[in-house]
Amino acid sequence: MELMKFVVLLVLSCMEMLFLFQEWGTLFHFIALCCLLLFCSSQVYPSSHSPVYLVDFSCLKPPSFCRVPFSTYLEHAQMFDFLDHQSRAFMAKILIQSGQGERTYLPPALHYIPPRSSHQDATGEVHMALFPIFDDLLSKTRLSPRDIDVLIVNCSGFCPAPSLSSIIINKYRMREDIKSFNVSGMGCSASALAIDMAQSVLKTHKNWNAVILSTEILSTGWYPGKERHMIVLNCLFRMGGAAILLTNRREAKRASKYKLLLSQRTQRAFDDKGYYSAIREEDSRGHTGVTLRRDLLHVAGETLRSNISILGARILPYTEQIWYAVSVFRKKFMDKATEIYVPNFKTVIQHFCLPTSGKPVIGEIGKGLKLGERDMEPALMTLHRFGNQSSSSLWYELAYMEAKGRVKKGDRVWQLGMGSGPKCSSLVWECIRPMSSDAEIGPWADSLEGHPISAANERHTGGQNSANKSR
């Protein structure tokens, strides 16, 4: 698209130069000017659809009694009859290497010995996770529940009847004509995917408000076995949730934080290797858990690469696209040892919200996108402070950047969500008003000053964890 725009401008410029050189009449100059004005207006108003604005969002700060330090987690693991010494040592290794800190949270049901996984406990976690953030969002935006036209709730592993969206509608007595959706099984990409869904609905309805509630209910996701490839998720996922308000009302532009520039979704479920790389199934003893296979990182890289290729063609300047095309051509037809040029997304994107799947994964994605430590900091600090909260982690990262005062008017933010399937969803936002610090009321209120964590501090924490494990 950038190349096409450049070609059109070049043609119009050549036309005007020809008219001047040939000394043609005023009519021809008028025609060239009209063509230029039509082209410029098409760029300012590219479609008849109203823009989608992000008014505000809220993130869950779980109560302090849900906090699980490493020492507590491993002490409880010592009391699980189904775990042997090798399994406990493996869990300790995953915890220490994951990049998590000591202040992450688990729901009350998983604090029991052994953990509980009843339907009642899961429903109680829904109330604990979704009601507070929805209340906070309504308070910040001064919105009534009856002003909401679209409700989307995403949670991968817990699908009760009535649905999660029905639980919210019943609690807040919403309108009878509200458009409600319940998204399950979409993994860590579900939040970004739900934004894309809401955008599609808002394109066909004017002056509507849409709320997305994003969480992962862990009370039913605990794996009570000792298969290593299934134990990993017990160590990584933590409690969290986010509520987001979108609107296409023109009058909401002044109060909104961001405008949605584009969304991009890709998936590789058609490929068996990708499909089975992360899948919920039973182990040899009939216990249900999520299996993470060894080729998961390779599959994730392929999924991310396809999403980035399409996204880059939509937002990168034509110069970056040309360099990329030239490198692909050289590698294919001239020198197969040539490295393919990685486009510099920092030419058009100022801030990045990456998947919090683990410290090594964040590092690999950052390396692939040529990001610096400051670019990866929001993802690393969110993982350290809150753990991997599945789809809602992207919003804790955005809250971190806002609280640090890094997001300025005109800046662009790229939220990248990756989930099982496998699938990848990208959102690109533009900040449309000066951003005031929300640190006092956001999830980072009590920990912002302690982040980012220095390397020395991390080594000290790692040493403490090792000592706790040995005890």
Task: Give tens-digit pLDDT for 310-358.
Answer: 888 888 888 887 877 787 777 777 776 777 777 888 889 999 999 998 8
Looking at the fold, whether 243 and 273 belong to one and the same domain comes out as no
Q: For residue 33, is it within any domain?
A: no
Q: Which of 233, 252, 271 is a domain's end point? A: 252
Looking at the fold, whether 236 and 300 belong to one and the same domain comes out as no
Assigned token pair, 454? 């220095």
Looking at the fold, whether 236 and 335 belong to one and the same domain comes out as no
Instruction: Examine the pLDDT at 126 and tell me if it is beyond 90.
Output: yes
Min mean pLDDT across 261-275, 282-296, 360-374, 445-459 is at: 445-459
State residue 321's pLDDT score. Answer: 78
User: What separation in angstroms does the CA of 135 have from each of 145, 163, 212, 258?
Assistant: 10, 19, 13, 21
Instruction: Examine the pLDDT at 455 and tell me if it is beyond 60.
Output: no
Cα 77 to the chain's mean position, in Å?
31
pLDDT grade, residue 461 (50/70/90)? very low
In 3-state terms the chain splits into helix, strand, coil percentages (rounded to 5) of: 50, 15, 35
Answer whether the bond into residue 115 is a cis peptide, omega within 30°.
no
State residue 131's pLDDT score. Answer: 97
Whether 417 and 191 have beta carbons less than 8 Å apart is answered as yes
Looking at the fold, whether 317 and 354 belong to one and the same domain comes out as yes
CA 437, 442, 443, 446 dihedral sign is: positive
Looking at the fold, whether 241 and 294 belong to one and the same domain comes out as no
Q: What pTM was computed for the model?
A: 0.85
Report the share of the chain in percent with pLDDT over 70: 87
For helices 359-368 and 373-386, angle between their N-to-C axes, nearest 10 degrees? 160
The CATH number of residue 211's host domain is: 3.40.47.10
The CB density around residue 336, as the number of other CB atoms within 10 Å, is 8
Q: Which of 252, 269, 291 is a domain's end point? A: 252
Looking at the fold, whether 216 and 299 belong to one and the same domain comes out as no
Instruction: Examine the pLDDT at 219 and tell me if it is beyond 60.
Output: yes
pLDDT grade, residue 377 (50/70/90)? very high
Looking at the fold, whether 294 and 177 belong to one and the same domain comes out as no
pLDDT grade, residue 470 (50/70/90)? very low
Cα 316 to the chain's mean position, in Å?
21
Total domains, the chain: 2
276 DSSP assignment: T
Host domain of residue 160: 53-252
Q: Which of 252, 281, 300 is a domain's end point? A: 252
User: What is d(CA 145, CA 8) in angstroms, rounded to the nearest whole number?
Assistant: 48
At residue 241's C-alpha, the angle toward residues 308 and 168, to 5°, is 115
Whether 178 and 150 have beta carbons less than 8 Å apart is answered as yes
Classify residue 39 by burial, with Cβ atoms within 10 Å: 0-12, 13-18, 19+: middle
Instruction: Examine the pLDDT at 440 and tell me if it is beyond 70.
Output: no
State residue 468's pLDDT score. Answer: 43
Q: Report, as an integer, the average pLDDT of 53-68.
A: 95
Q: Which residues contact 93 (CB under 8 A, 6 or more apart)?
A: none
User: Read out DSSP for 183-235?
Assistant: E-S-GGGHHHHHHHHHHHHHHTSSS-EEEEEEE---TTT---S--HHHHHHHH
Looking at the fold, whether 245 and 286 belong to one and the same domain comes out as no
Whether 187 and 158 have beta carbons less than 8 Å apart is answered as no
Note the pLDDT tens digit of each residue in 394-408: 999 999 999 999 999
Note the pLDDT tens digit of each residue in 176-193: 999 999 999 888 899 999
Looking at the fold, whether 370 and 310 belong to one and the same domain comes out as yes
pLDDT grade, residue 380 (50/70/90)? very high
Q: Report, as an integer, the average pLDDT of 449-455.
A: 75
